[in-house]
Structure 1
Amino acid sequence: MSATLNAEKFSKYFDNCPMIHIPGLTFPVEEFLLEDIVEMTRYHPQNQDRRSSWKRGFWQGRNSRPEKEEKEAEYKESWPCYARTLRDRNHEGAILVFLPGWDNISSLNDLLMAQPMFRSDRFVIIPLHSLMPTVNQTQVFKRPPPGVRKIVIATNIAETSITIDDVVYVIDGGKIKETNFDTNNNISTMTAEWVSLANAKQRKGRAGRVCPGKCYHLYNGLRASLLDAYQLPEIMRTPLEELCLQIKILKLGYIARFLEKALDPPTDQAVSLAIKNLVDLNALDCSENLTALGFHLARLPVEPHIGKLILFGALLGCLDPVLTIAASLSFKDPFFIPLGKEKMADMRRKTLSRNSKSDHLTIVNAFQGWEEAKQRGARYEREYCWDNFLSLYTEMLHNMKGQFAEHLMHAGFVSSKDPRDPKSNVNSDNEKLIKAVIVAGLYPKVAMIRPSHSKKRPGVKVYTQADGKVCIHPKSVNAEETEFNYTWLIYHLKMRTSSIFLYDCTEVSPFSLLFFGGDITIQKDEDQETIAVDRWIVFRSPARIAHLVKSLKKELDSLLEEKIRNPAPVDWQNRQSKDCAVITAIIDLITTQEKPWSNFLWSIQQGVLKEIDQ
């Protein structure tokens, strides 16, 4: 059900099934386009030459451009430099302004607050965005006293997710932030796109809930004629790995053949890339059959990389912190950012990171502090959340962790549905092991850190194999870090906006990549011996030690595969068992990784590893 659903398309897909139209009880809404607004505000561009230069460019290239490009150029002629305050505000009622994202909301809020009129008690201005404090956003539902104008500045969250009853005026900025997936470069993109006609209709419908309303679209008739009828369906602009696993566990046949039957089928390239990624993850075999790992990943209610993270957290005895990380990555970052306090929020996250150089461990530390405050009482919990910029989503993460643990218990990986069960957390204080588990889940999302010799931008430069130079997202605790212990980062998401940004990244050690990354190869040149992960993450190493590492990794992979085929909690009390001996040896090596290679050689020859060497 939807007021703007393409009902005819769905009806046709389902063998021309009947449609039922239920008329709504909304009041009429008068619409205005940009040319109407310019006339109402008597606006004149300050730069009079701007129109003529656009016009010259348009006519010069007219014969060589398609019809749509001609309309685009003509549209640009009529776009004014700045928007004017609308004069028609004589009646009561809230104003709802639609903008595409955080930066736009922040900028408009600053512009309004710079005017004495809007700082007066005649106005209440409420930014509405998922990064902002929920406690502040509840004001959007409260009606202000008579004579006070409520102005809500929101993203498309206000289109359908919530209803603000007293909105009478809507200002539609005409843009929406939309996530797409570039299959050619295997990267997500987020850009501000023009709304669809369906979006515009939804935005118009926000006015007129309690009385006749008005909607001002900040685009003209030419732009309106170019708008798509509907947004691109999500199946055509997101990665498909999780969907592919669901198809396989439901035994619906070959993935591509099944998806061809979809209402809007994804491209062959997108399907092929998803299958390749699942094969690389060892979730599918070369014949597109579910592996043992793929079976468990398909049953977990998260995307495959996060599912693998959860399984390894259970197998390596650091369940509670790993479930915190998994919940935050699969649902929502628990931190909010109040307008005007961005720097303060950054500093607080930096403090919570405890120099771990990890966004993931920052969330773990924040969550542990929240649990301790919650145990002391509601007042302490509220104070802790406010002081550390934590949102109400923290409670939801707590509930998600319980659901994940229950899945693991039913699958046989742990013996309790309590994420904090001591048997499942014998290694939960081992920060280096937790980072290794993050590698196990998120690999091959790896970036290389290199020192920057630029005087303008001191610090580090970051590169990925596929993209070259990238940037750490400004919200990361690593964004302005200048000193790292190692030269590698593991990240959760890579997205192209104004640049290519890495979100949620953690510094990781060579051993983490060697034991939990991809295939190991050993090379011996004339001047040096190296060991490499997937042939591009290269470390110097004596050949003898490199072979020991490769043998140990083979033992670990074999053990983990057996555990996944036949799930059972690791018996950490029985140190003589092979599984416990191998895992403990790996943990010891990861934990003491700062030791020189000579010490590593001594360590690697102990216990079960000595047998491997022989």
Structure 2
Amino acid sequence: MRLMFYRYSDHTIEALEMFDNDDKIDLELILALIRHIVLKEEEGAILVFLPGWSDISSLNDLLTAQQMFRSDRFVIIPLHSLMPTVNQTMVFKRPPPGVRKIVIATNIAETSITIDDVVYVIDGGKIKETHFDTNNNISTMTSEWVSLANAKQRKGRAGRVCPGKCYHLYNGLRASLLDAYQLPEIMRTPLEELCLQIKILRLGSIAQFLGKALDPPTEKAVNLAIKNLIDLNALDHSENLTALGFHLARLPVEPHIGKLLLFGALLGCLDPVFTIAASLSFKDPFFIPLGKEKMADMRRRVLSRNSKSDHLTIVNAFQGWEEAKQRGSRCEREYCWDNFLSANTLQMLHNMKGQFADHLMNTGFVSSRDPKDPKSNVNSDNEKLIKAVIVAGLYPKVAMIKPSHSKKRPGVKVYTQADGKVCIHPKSVNAEETEFNYKWLVYHLKMRTSSIFLYDCTEVSPFSLLFFGGDITIQKDEDQETIAVDQWIVFSSPARIAHLVKSLKKELDSLLEEKIRNPAPVDWQNRQSKDCAVITAIIDLITTQDKPTVSSTKGTLWRPAPRGQHTHFKDGNDDDDDD
């Protein structure tokens, strides 16, 4: 093998052998390559492809630590969806003569945008892809080798208007092993939204139709999507669309978010729920400037107003933006800058809310195209009700909070039924929270990267889970009764309250089913109507519920049953309890 490399030193050969065995990108090598281009090559912008935020941030730090790159002869522009919009626009501006532009980007710079003055491309060879693990019903994000199609696109970014060069940071053997294309999206994402489209278009059996695709998804992925839609009550057991499924299929969002929209309309908190749905469908409006991550996290926590909810944090941020905008463009810019918010993203969310209102008005759920219509927002100031509507949309994505007795990591530990111990994503306002009012969180996304993380989570009360979660059952245990949601979220309760909740839950389910079959706005003016009476009774219960804490449940109305006795969670790693 060594005879093939007789022209190179032993040091070079050893470096090459080690290079391709390491899954991590060698940022020091990229730094050295950038220095080589700057010192030895002609003028022209440099575009570096890296897989994600962590690598972009690290390379930016390496460059700015060098005296050479801190001079005004260089413009370094990190390009990522979490970066401020001003950074995104700077990439298109040609720098003055004698100034070299260095862009550090993800694969967004492959096809989504064209930077016409790029002459040199450095291809790190990796890309971050989201996959869906059907065995564990969880999304995963991993850094993987690019495909040949990716590599060709990256090469094509070099020299759009003059001859250019592309440096691929992998050897010929690795290049020969690359796949021709990325795995098709239909084979690596959840299929619920697609399944609903198949049913509303009357294309027959979901499995048979998807089996005709050029790259069909696995049978397991299809069956899991159908099961999830049945659990959501969007399909019946014969795979027919229910009334709810019909409306969800017509909404331009994934099914859980569609259900969130419908419940926001039915329960009179339309505007804040529209904001939440728009952000979950598109992206949240916060950006993170490099070097100011802690300050951005602090502003996000301030905007949460101790709601212990990422969803309500975005509602608060959006409302603040609307108020600032009314005071003039200067106030709007200052508000967005001070709170690390993207005005472009906020405007996009505003536009999406208008589209949601159009859809719901066309189907009869609301009487106005204005998301702020007073008739549809009689309960929009009720934070606890909005959290209950979030449960209605996101259930069964539920996690349990437990106090942590670890000396190394004080605070709380979080568990899901399927995975055991998980982590709240560091970007969440709940990531460093140590005191919660209740023991339950609902979340929008669960993803495995370095650990299993919960994204976009909100603390919710027992009544929210009981009324807007799954089926509830009552059991008598010796001297007390328990009430359970889907037989695994279990609370101790006085018998009278348990039976009252079950009766009200039955009335609510019946009412909601009728409203979905025959859409019409709730007449909040007529408090004597059955619709209004049932919903008002439930809202009153949710709003006035006592506040137990994680650390103590004595004397409270609702208590989670002992973990080993009723609430069944997969065992996690609790080794840190004794640290």
Normalised TM-score (structure 2): 0.90
Cα distance in structure 2, aligned partners of 1:363 and 1:335? 9
Cα distance in structure 1, aligned partners of 2:70 and 2:557? 64
Q: Counterpart of 1:112?
A: 63
- Does the Cα contact within 8 Å between 2:20 and 2:174 map onto a contact in 1? no
Say whether residues 1:301 and 2:252 are aligned partners: yes
Structure 1 pair 437/556, CA: closer, same or farther in 2 (3 Å)?
A: same
Q: Number of aligned pairs?
A: 543
Q: Counterpart of 2:341?
A: 390
The amino acid across from 2:32 in the alignment is T
Matches within 5 A, 1:588-599: 588-594=540-546
The amino acid across from 1:397 in the alignment is L
- Does the Cα contact within 8 Å between 2:272 and 2:380 map onto a contact in 1? yes
Which of 159, 184, 201 is the aligned partner of 2:110? Answer: 159
Say whether residues 1:418 and 2:370 are aligned partners: yes
Which of 447, 465, 484 is the aligned partner of 1:532? Answer: 484
The amino acid across from 2:142 in the alignment is T
Superposed CA deviations along residues 210-232 of structure 1, whole A, max 9, x for unmatched, are: 11110001111111111100000
The structure with the largest alpha-carbon Rg is 1
Please report how far the alpha carbon of residue 543 of structure 1 lies from its aligned counterpart in structure 2 after TM superposition. Answer: 2.3
Which of 463, 486, 492 is the aligned partner of 1:511? Answer: 463
Q: Counterpart of 2:504?
A: 552
Superposed CA deviations along residues 332-361 of structure 1, whole A, max 9, x for unmatched, are: 111000000000000000000000000000
Matches within 5 A, 1:22-37: none
- Does the Cα contact within 8 Å between 1:191 and 1:497 map onto a contact in 2? yes
Please report how far the alpha carbon of residue 147 of structure 1 lies from its aligned counterpart in structure 2 after TM superposition. Answer: 1.2
Say whether residues 1:448 and 2:400 are aligned partners: yes
- Does the Cα contact within 8 Å between 1:51 and 1:77 map onto a contact in 2? no
Say whether residues 1:574 and 2:521 are aligned partners: no
Q: Secondary structure at the match of 1:290?
A: coil
Superposed CA deviations along residues 69-112 of structure 1, whole A, max 9, x for unmatched, are: xxxx9856999794152224421110000000001100000010
Which runs of 4 or more aligned residues in structure 1 lie more than 6 Å from their structure 2 counterparts after TM superposition?
77-81, 595-601
Structure 1 pair 453/146, CA: closer, same or farther in 2 (3 Å)?
A: same
- Does the Cα contact within 8 Å between 2:20 and 2:170 map onto a contact in 1? no
Q: Counterpart of 2:98?
A: 147
Q: Counterpart of 2:495?
A: 543
Matches within 5 A, 1:56-71: none
Say whether residues 1:563 and 2:515 are aligned partners: yes
Please report how far the alpha carbon of residue 136 of structure 1 lies from its aligned counterpart in structure 2 after TM superposition. Answer: 2.1
Q: Secondary structure at the match of 2:60?
A: helix
Q: Counterpart of 1:366?
A: 317
Cα distance in structure 2, aligned partners of 1:77 and 1:463? 30
Please report how far the alpha carbon of residue 527 of structure 1 lies from its aligned counterpart in structure 2 after TM superposition. Answer: 4.2
Unaligned runs of 5+ in 2: 549-553, 559-579
Please report how far the alpha carbon of residue 500 of structure 1 lies from its aligned counterpart in structure 2 after TM superposition. Answer: 0.3
Say whether residues 1:469 and 2:441 are aligned partners: no
Cα distance in structure 1, aligned partners of 2:535 and 2:313? 26
Cα distance in structure 1, aligned partners of 2:477 and 2:265? 40
Say whether residues 1:289 and 2:236 are aligned partners: no
- Does the Cα contact within 8 Å between 1:175 and 1:192 map onto a contact in 2? yes
- Does the Cα contact within 8 Å between 2:437 and 2:547 map onto a contact in 1? no
Cα distance in structure 2, aligned partners of 1:306 and 1:532? 25
Q: Secondary structure at the match of 2:96?
A: coil
Q: Secondary structure at the match of 1:141?
A: coil
Q: Counterpart of 2:573?
A: none
Q: Secondary structure at the match of 1:333?
A: coil
The amino acid across from 1:85 in the alignment is A
The amino acid across from 2:487 in the alignment is R
Cα distance in structure 1, aligned partners of 2:94 and 2:288? 25
Q: Secondary structure at the match of 1:370?
A: helix
Cα distance in structure 1, aligned partners of 2:113 and 2:16? 40
The share of aligned pairs that are identical, in percent, is 87
Unaligned runs of 5+ in 1: 1-34, 55-72, 602-614
Structure 1 pair 113/317, CA: closer, same or farther in 2 (3 Å)?
A: same
Q: Secondary structure at the match of 1:201?
A: helix
Which of 487, 490, 515 is the aligned partner of 2:439? Answer: 487
CA RMSD across the alignment:
2.3
- Does the Cα contact within 8 Å between 1:284 and 1:291 map onto a contact in 2? yes
Say whether residues 1:170 and 2:121 are aligned partners: yes
Cα distance in structure 2, aligned partners of 1:235 and 1:132? 29
Normalised TM-score (structure 1): 0.85
Please report how far the alpha carbon of residue 137 of structure 1 lies from its aligned counterpart in structure 2 after TM superposition. Answer: 2.0
Q: Counterpart of 1:67?
A: none
Structure 1 pair 432/413, CA: closer, same or farther in 2 (3 Å)?
A: same
The amino acid across from 1:409 in the alignment is M
Structure 1 pair 44/88, CA: closer, same or farther in 2 (3 Å)?
A: farther
Say whether residues 1:276 and 2:227 are aligned partners: yes
Which of 145, 148, 151 is the aligned partner of 1:200? Answer: 151
